[in-house]
Amino acid sequence: MADILNDAKILDKDGNTVSLQKIQENTVIGLYFSAHWCPPCRQYTPMLAEKYTSLRKEGKKLEIIFVSSDRDENACKEYYATHPWLLLDFADRTKKNNLSGKYDVSGIPTLILLDSKLDMICEDGGSAIMEAEFDELK
């Protein structure tokens, strides 16, 4: 996984690039595959954002990277404006496709949870992060 993200452009809410090393300081890293045009995504995203914000306020070491399946950059930016986490640069469709292939993402929304070494913890992270205690995810 690190090989796919090594030179990826990952952006914060201000458009600044965030290093992979900085992201790996977190205990749990989520790859959130989602899109604005997807009704289940629009339903799930606010719940995930609330959970993410709550866990971060509790001091939990969690970071999520939005991997957009939107059809164009404007739709991605509009949707991302409602997200509190990081963004894989929309322009790098190759990285998005490689991540989707690596984790067999066939539908959205999908949240893949990784540990700080970028090894997969859970492929059904959407349910796990909502239902399990955070410390049990590791």
Residues in the chain: 138
- Do 102 and 134 form a contact (C-beta atoms < 8 A)? no
Q: Which residues of the chain have pLDDT under 70?
A: 1-2, 138
Q: What is the pLDDT of residue 65?
A: 97
Q: What is the pLDDT of residue 3?
A: 74
State the pTM of this model: 0.94
Closest by Cα among 42, 121, 123, 131 to 83: 42
Q: What are residue 34's DSSP bridge partners?
A: 68
- Strand, coil or helix: what is 8? coil
Q: What is the pLDDT of residue 1?
A: 47
